[in-house]
Amino acid sequence: MDLELAGKSVIVTGGASNIGRAITLGFAREGANITLADLDAEQADKVAVEARQLGAAAIQVVPTDVTDIEQVQRMVTTAQSSYGDVDVLINNVGWDQLMFFMQTSPDFWRKVVEINFIGMLNCTHTVLERMVKTGGAIVSISSDASRQGEPKEAVYGAMKAGINSFMKTIARENGRYGVRCNVVCPGVTIPEGDDEIGVNSMWVDKDNMFTEEQLTRIAGGLPLKKLGRPRDVTGAVLFLSSQAAAGYITGQVLSVSGGYSMIG
């Protein structure tokens, strides 16, 4: 099926590493015009080279701290100036460190809130100001930690749950303008190689995330008996971004987690 994403103007935040990288390259294969917004310009430039090789109509890297509304506004203006009205926004930026709540501090809470939630608000508000005039799609990357209550991810899971609720509300408020808003919730999704990880990635210190024994145990507990890879998330994101394929879908939260979460 032709997703009709060729030539569309797409913003991917955090598009340089892991899931964001895979999403960026997925849109490249579809022939989209991509604005890759990421703090890690060096890693983003590498992804941009790959994207051009895979067939992106065009791609530009705009170094952006999504927690800074002025930087977000400049990034969106750059996207619109280069490729016209923004058709698709992918809110992908996310960050965490695995710790029990009582091991964390207020400074840590603020960082998790700023990166995972405030950054998403900044990007969504800035794009919506324009998108309500033209229609389009917003897909936010959440986490199955938002649906299950995951140990060592208390604040992160809470922020991702906030994304789920927020996107449903935005879908109700803006459907009349032809704006569709959906959420994808990955489970544990591990990079396939070090070249997929930027310096700001939560996976840059893999040993502080999961041990190999833990990963084996997690995979064994899933119905599909395997861990997620970044490419596993891409199809769901492209589908929900496509007016041709998902034009009558909005306000939905879709788990892509090997069956970890099964919520009707």
Helices (H), the chain: 18-29, 41-54, 69-83, 106-113, 119-131, 145-148, 154-174, 212-220, 230-241, 243-246
Mapped onto helix, strand or coil, the DSSP state of residue 138 is: strand
Q: Which residues contact 61 (CB under 8 A, 6 or more apart)?
A: 36, 38, 41, 44, 45, 48
Cα separation, 141 vs 47, in Å, equals: 19
The single residue of 83, 156, 177, 260 carrying the catalytic annotation is 156
Cα distances from 85 to residues 10, 82, 259, in angstroms, run 9, 9, 36
| b/e per residue 112-122 (b: at least 16 CB within 10 A) | bbbbbbbbbbb
260 included as an active-site residue? no
The answer to whether 263 touches 28, Cβ cutoff 8 Å, is no
The answer to whether 132 touches 83, Cβ cutoff 8 Å, is no
**Catalytic site positions:** 156
